[in-house]
Amino acid sequence: MPSTTWENLSFTGRRPLIVCVAFLLFVALGFGLIKFGILLSKKNVASAWSGFASSVAEKVGDVKDITRPKIKPEVEVIPSPKRPVLNSGAKILNPADFTGRNIVVRDSGTGKMLYGKAAYDPWPMASVTKLLSALVLLDAPINFASTTVAAVDGAPDNDVAIGATYYVKDLWNAGLISSSNRAVLSLADSTGLTREEFVGRMNEKARQLGMTGTKVVEPTGLDARNQSTAADIAVLLAEALRKPEILESVRLTSYDLADVNGRYGKKIKTTDWLLSGAISNFGLELVGGKTGYIPESGYNFAAETVSSTNHVVVVVLGARSIDARFTEARRAAEWAYQNFTWK
């Protein structure tokens, strides 16, 4: 029987073997491609994970070898305020030269007291109280474009008409420029707080400011039980004048006031005679201030003045006359600028 070889096989005989070999090659190729795809996928995942991990580590500062430079954020450097130093041979103020019962001269930049007379003794605040009320109103907050009805209680008031509707901004200016009591009561009522709640916030604000010698019982200053110290009022004034809304108003010498319908119109004028020029400031530049008077307090005045290099707060409480509170404040500020050098 003749042997069977590949050469002896006909095409028909060869076909099953060709098909079988082709099938095996196809299967082997398929497995190879699948394995290659798996390896490639693992490599990409590992690469992606490595990149993510490096990014996270870089953000938390764990990556030490970072080639690109790190940009440091800009930090605003606030220079230390210049400190007042008493000049050699400086004149010392004589307490007997002042009718004011309580006086403080304070450097605004450092908070250093340059002069004090009964600085920590309690005294009726009178309308200086309104600065504390204004801070609480800003915290409330109030909407200057809104309207409110003027309070019907309180002391007689020549500026604000009982029961009339005013813009809040107008009452705000009446309270701080001409020291209208009804304006301040109306603003306090407009917050939706009871009078007791409003006064509670005033006392809390005083505590926040470190005014440990201050306690009030109502928002206007008409009650002599609104008590503070010259040292505390210096802190209060400095804080109040940091608020643009307060600073803008206490710097106005006059203001046209009327209700929303244009009725009860009048020009109100500032009670600060150094600002208005009724008493000469002798070239002393005034930042802003607030007056106060009730019979129990005498004449009170707190103001911040400024020179070319620094600011000084002066508080005079219990002066004997309306003129004396301004002239004594002016004299105390002039003394500070003449006898201290800021270094």
Q: Answer whether 137's CB lies under 8 Å from 223's CB.
A: no
Which string of b and e fits 44-80 if b means at least 16 CB within 10 Å? eeeeeeeeeeeeeeeeeeeeeeeeeeeeeeeeeeeee
Q: What is the pLDDT of residue 81?
A: 84
Q: Answer whether 129's CB lies under 8 Å from 179's CB.
A: no
Q: Answer whether 199's CB lies under 8 Å from 191's CB.
A: no
What pLDDT band is residue 61 in, cutting at 50, 70 and 90?
Answer: very low
What pLDDT band is residue 135 in, cutting at 50, 70 and 90?
Answer: very high
What pLDDT band is residue 34 in, cutting at 50, 70 and 90?
Answer: low
Cβ atoms within 10 A of the Cβ of 272, count? 23
Asked whether the predicted pLDDT for residue 73 surpasses 80, the reply is no
Q: What is the pLDDT of residue 283?
A: 84
Across 29-33, 64-68, 172-176, 315-319, least confident range = 64-68
Q: What is the pLDDT of residue 91?
A: 94
189-228, pLDDT tens digit by residue? Answer: 999 999 999 999 999 999 999 999 999 999 999 999 999 9
For the chain, the residue count is 343
The whole-angstrom separation of Cα 211 and Cα 53 is 54
Asked whether the predicted pLDDT for residue 39 surpasses 50, the reply is no
Residue 228 has phi, psi (to 5 degrees) of -150, -175
Q: What is the separation, in whole angstroms, between the first and last Cα of the chain?
A: 127
The residue-averaged pLDDT of 240-265 equals 98
The answer for residues whose C-beta is within 8 angstroms of residue 248's C-beta and 6 or more apart is none
Find tokens 């600028």 and name the residue: 337
What pLDDT band is residue 45 in, cutting at 50, 70 and 90?
Answer: very low
Q: Would you call 231 exposed, middle or buried from its count of C-beta atoms within 10 A (0-12, 13-18, 19+)? A: buried
268-296, pLDDT tens digit by residue? Answer: 999 999 999 999 988 889 999 999 999 99
The strand pairing partners of 215, in sequence order, are 227
Q: What is the pLDDT of residue 199?
A: 98
CA neighbours closer than 13 Å in the CB half-sphere of residue 158: 6
Q: Is 337 helix (H, G, I), strand (E, B) or coil?
A: helix
Percentage above 90 pLDDT, the chain: 72
| Average pLDDT value for the chain | 86
The residue ranking higher by pLDDT, 162 or 155, is 162
Percentage above 70 pLDDT, the chain: 77
| Beta strands, E only, the chain | 84-86, 102-107, 113-117, 123-124, 147-149, 165-167, 227-228, 254-257, 266-269, 285-294, 298-306, 311-319, 340-342
Q: Is 128 helix (H, G, I), strand (E, B) or coil?
A: helix
The whole-angstrom separation of Cα 304 and Cα 131 is 14
Residue 319 has phi, psi (to 5 degrees) of -65, 155
Q: What is the pLDDT of residue 134?
A: 98
What pLDDT band is residue 156 in, cutting at 50, 70 and 90?
Answer: confident
Tokens of residue 172, six digits: 């705000």
Q: What is the pLDDT of residue 27?
A: 53
Asked whether the predicted pLDDT for residue 138 surpasses 50, the reply is yes
Per DSSP, the residues of 221-251 read S-STT-EE-HHHHHHHHHHHHTSHHHHHHHT
The whole-angstrom separation of Cα 219 and Cα 131 is 9
